[in-house]
Chain A
């Protein structure tokens, strides 16, 4: 039981490049989330998916797209990376009625 896994762990991009962050959970959770954490700040919600086939914007969605590929997987795409997107990205999941969100280990992204 791996919980929530994220790939890659680290990534360096040049401005304008695109990439997809992958997230998968094996806990049969309905809901999945993407957060970003900037230095000196808490986590901020980018997008979330309440269930397979649905996605919704969070607090800071600009510059990102998401895909809920199936119940297990929820990907985050940066179409044209900008230095302001340098951050640590966390994926999380939760089951219906859970009082906890389970977090992945994070992806540290640097955009030059």
Chain B
């Protein structure tokens, strides 16, 4: 069974600083995908970034990058130049491919607070 672990319940970062949110995963499938979603206080789930297990390079999307270390089974999210609007819950998730459907397993999340 797939498992996602986020060990940081809460994190603080000062505005304009970089922050790393940790995520480790466990799977026996050779093919999988890793995701990060942001959930602001309004409650919606916002897709941030995706990394495929066979991707050679770390994924980047604007200020977000995914530090993918396959041997360590980690997929940490790095947010550069933090902004007040980055304050939210962040969830790491892993995709299990079941033919045409892609089931996601989520971690318990990290609450990020950006301070002045």
B8 within 8 Å of A (CB atoms): no
A53 within 8 Å of B (CB atoms): no
Asked whether A41 and B108 contact (CB < 8 A) given A100-B47, A105-B43, the answer is yes
Whether the Cβ atoms of A42 and B103 lie closer than 8 Å is no
Alpha-carbon distance between A67 and B99 when the two chains are bound, in angstroms:
20
Whether the Cβ atoms of B50 and A100 lie closer than 8 Å is yes
- Number of chain A residues whose Cβ lies closer than 8 Å to a Cβ of chain B: 31
B104 within 8 Å of A (CB atoms): yes
- What's the least CB distance linking A109 to chain B, in Å? 13
Interface residues of A (CB under 8 A from B): 30-31, 33, 35, 40-45, 48-51, 56, 58-59, 88, 90, 92, 94, 96, 98-103, 105-106, 108
Q: In the complex, what residues of A have CB within 8 A of residue B101's CB?
A: 31, 33, 48-51, 56, 94
Q: SS class of chain B's interface: helix, strand, loop or mixed? A: strand
Whether the Cβ atoms of A33 and B103 lie closer than 8 Å is yes
Closest to B98 in A: A50
Alpha-carbon distance between A48 and B105 when the two chains are bound, in angstroms:
13
Alpha-carbon distance between A105 and B40 when the two chains are bound, in angstroms:
12
B25 within 8 Å of A (CB atoms): no
Closest 9 CB pairs of A and B: A42-B106, A50-B101, A103-B45, A99-B50, A31-B101, A50-B100, A43-B106, A100-B47, A42-B108
Alpha-carbon distance between A9 and B21 when the two chains are bound, in angstroms:
30
Closest to A105 in B: B44
Q: In the complex, what residues of B have CB within 8 A of residue A59's CB?
A: 105
Whether the Cβ atoms of A88 and B43 lie closer than 8 Å is yes
Q: List 25 A-B contacts (CB under 8 A).
A: A33-B103, A40-B108, A41-B109, A42-B93, A44-B106, A45-B103, A45-B105, A49-B101, A50-B98, A50-B99, A50-B100, A50-B101, A51-B101, A88-B43, A92-B45, A96-B100, A99-B35, A99-B50, A100-B47, A101-B35, A102-B47, A103-B44, A103-B45, A105-B43, A105-B44
Alpha-carbon distance between A97 and B93 when the two chains are bound, in angstroms:
17
Asked whether A58 and B43 contact (CB < 8 A) given A43-B91, A100-B50, the answer is no
Question: CB within 8 A of B33: which of A40, A49, A50, A99?
Answer: A99
